[in-house]
Chains A and B, each alone.
Chain A
Amino acid sequence: MKIIAIYSSKGGVGKTATAVNLAYGCARSGRKTLLCDMDPQGAAGYYYRIRPKESFNRKQFLKGDLEPFIRGTDYENLDLLPTHFSFRHLDIALDERGGAGNELKRIFACIEDEYEVLILDCPPNMTLLSEKIIMAADLVVTPVIPTTLSILSFAQLIKLTDKLEVNRKKLVAFFSMVDRRKNMHSDTIAKFGKKKMFLASEIPYLADVEKMGLYRQPVAVSVPSSAAATAYAQLWLEVWRRGALL
């Protein structure tokens, strides 16, 4: 099972939209996929119209008792593990448990045989949980808005991976919410886009992506022939190729 984390310490950069659409692309390519919503805000579950079961919370998650709480989406090969409000203290709980080992790998071990790809939609912060995610993932995909602040937070992420002694090649970035009419966007892309860590695919700032909250479907379903659907399909191909090279 390959673990792909969609991560950024910054909020509002399009993480959940990326996780939701990449998970759909992955499942469409025939791979049995689980999208795990780790963000207590629960947006990924919302997009797939899935609410957590009442009996589910942080405790079951930490025990690795995931199977009874996984729910099928409307799409073939794609299941979702919803988040829970109690996930907001997941990092504290991880800290209390101590252990320098790879806690998340242990938690996800129970579903390893069932899924080929696990996609994590991560909460926007830089905590112990983020460290465990970076260590457990085979690939960390980061959406970067082409602005100075976003670039800065990406630089921080690189620093963190170095500190954790994690192979930098695991890190993959792409430009998100791109508006080519803005000089700053064009300039930033010109300056950083050539770097190896950046993928060629970019996701433009599109109304169809914003409307996902309205349709509650991946863009490839709600607006199949849109620019947004094409952009995410391309992004998925590139991400998968990058992951396969590792």
Chain B
Amino acid sequence: MKETWSTSTLSEQIDLAVLLAGLSKHYALLEDDALVETLCYLDTFDWRLYDKGLLCRRQGRSYVLTDFSGEYLLQADGPTSDQPLFRDFEGAMNEKLAEVIGVRALLPLVEIVRRRQSFQIVNHDQKRVLSGLLEQDHLMQEGGSPIPLGGSLRVEGVRGYSKIMAKVTAILQRQGFEAGYSAERGLRSALAAMGRKPLDYCSQFSIRLDPTETIVQAAQKIFLQLLAGMERNIPGMIEDIDSEFLHDFRVALRRTRSLLGSLKKTVSGAEVESLQQELQKIGLVTGPVRDLDVYLLEESGYHAMLPEGLQEGLAVFFKGLRRQRVKEFRRLQKALQAKTFHQFLLRWRRYVEDLETSLLPSDLTTGHETCKKVAVKAIRKRLRAILKDGALIGPQSPDADLHSVRIQAKKLRYLLEFYRSLFPEPAMDSLVKSLKKLQDNLGSFNDLSVQQQMLARYQNGLADGEPKKAVLVAAALGGLITHLHEEQVNVRQKFDLAFAQFTTAENRKLFHSLV
């Protein structure tokens, strides 16, 4: 006979004596001393826990994973550091977090002060006939007074004393309490008090466009959303919280450059050329750290590729990479904090905001075409190129040809993502899905080739170091290169199949129906 009631409309602290004043004089309320605890909700920057229906809260060193209703799933001690990673935990918590949050760090979302007050209601024999727990949350604010958030009241009846339970329930209903309790609702109201809401950042790009909008209006919307995405990731990049801030930033940057490139003939504002150069420069500045991150994130995978005897050399190699990353990161951090970087972002924002007015008279006609029309043209062109170039790939084709198909596929993917909302959803979904499979094959091929080149470059540079160590490292890298090469041959052999699956009659028909 347990019931939970909750309220979200709390303006001040609930006084149990006042709340339950309607009980007859045959009953008395006994209140225990209230306990006050501080707890903090955490999630990754991109809400990976929430997205999977999970909530994580921390009290001191104790971390609890619950579902949205507040039901405990896991509890474990963890680090007191502000931004823990899955590897900072042990046991089941480590495994669960690895599965759900991957490489992302947990960040504090909100800090809540919870007042817990247990109580009993006794009858005229001083017999307990009901017990309960009142919890009230307040949001901690820096430098301000706590904001009341809401509360819950759990009441548990005693067997054979149902009348009092009914009375208390009636009072709670009258006072606007709702049956049930949701931890998710509690978190949501705390976030709302801070002007936030769950899932307010997502690394996947999605935008609603109106087919009758001009391409300039549509492009402006897309650019602004991409820019907002980049800007939101900058603090995390500077703080180096986890590798994905930089990654998401770079993806948004690539999308921006790709869209700007595809619009060259439609919108040719005078500044475009120089803006493109600046965007490219940012790509170059942020590249080295990301390249190193790719290796470091795969460290355990590399170790698994080599036999015991070559592990020592590999460990030395990775130690070197980590040292290099520290150096490269310092350079990146400086660049991100530089005035010129922020001045450029401002300039880019102004350009995008004035996109329409900055059109030259000669651009006006093309700039006022509907976005749907431009989208169809761009997608058709990109698709034709892939079909033509892909069909020419044979066993003897140089790697560069595959590389070029990969770039085309990537550009097509961006176009499909930008203009997704202009086309019927099921057809679009199925096309993106099969394009993704082709991209996976091409992407793996490229990654493997880049990795081999990088390892070979590193190997060549070894001669300057300490000879004994150099031999060890060279052997390990040699082993890796061999392994990666074999895998690349493997992936290459699968290209024909991936391409054939992308160009099935069914897919061609789908594309025709769309564009």
Interface residues of A (CB under 8 A from B): 48-51, 53, 69-72, 74, 79, 216
Contacts and interface: CB of A to CB of B under 8 A. Distances in A.
Interface residues of B, number: 8
Determine the main DSSP class of B at the interface with A: loop
A223 B386 CA distance: 87
Interface stretch (B121-129, B207-215, B311-319, B455-463): B121-129
Contacts of B126: 49, 216
A69 B127 CA distance: 16
B159 A79 contact: yes
A70 B160 contact: yes
B133 to A, nearest CB: 16
Contacts of B160: 50, 53, 69-72, 79
Contact of B128 (A69, A70, A74, A79): A74
A216 B128 CA distance: 13
A79 B127 CA distance: 13
A25 B460 CA distance: 79
B159 A74 contact: no
B161 interface: yes
Contacts of B158: 71-72
Question: Which of B158, B160, B161 has the most A CB atoms < 10 Å from its CB?
Answer: B160
A69 B126 CA distance: 20
Contacts of A53: 160
Given A71-B159, A72-B161, 9 more contacts: A49-B125, A49-B126, A50-B160, A69-B160, A70-B159, A70-B160, A71-B158, A79-B160, A216-B125
A79 B1 CA distance: 14
26 contacts: A48-B127, A49-B125, A49-B126, A49-B127, A50-B125, A50-B127, A50-B160, A51-B125, A53-B160, A69-B160, A70-B159, A70-B160, A71-B158, A71-B159, A71-B160, A71-B161, A72-B158, A72-B159, A72-B160, A72-B161, A74-B127, A74-B128, A79-B159, A79-B160, A216-B125, A216-B126
B277 to A, nearest CB: 74
Interface in B139-172: 158-161
Nearest to A69: B160
Nearest to B128: A74
Nearest to B131: A74
Nearest to A82: B160
Nearest to B123: A49
Nearest to B160: A71
A74 B128 CA distance: 6
A53 B125 CA distance: 14
Contacts of A216: 125-126
Contacts of B127: 48-50, 74
Question: Which of B127, B128, B158, B161 has the most A CB atoms < 10 Å from its CB?
Answer: B127
B384 to A, nearest CB: 75
A78 to B, nearest CB: 10
Contacts of B159: 70-72, 79
B375 to A, nearest CB: 67
A238 to B, nearest CB: 30
Contacts of A72: 158-161
Interface string B97-138: 000000000000000000000000000011110000000000
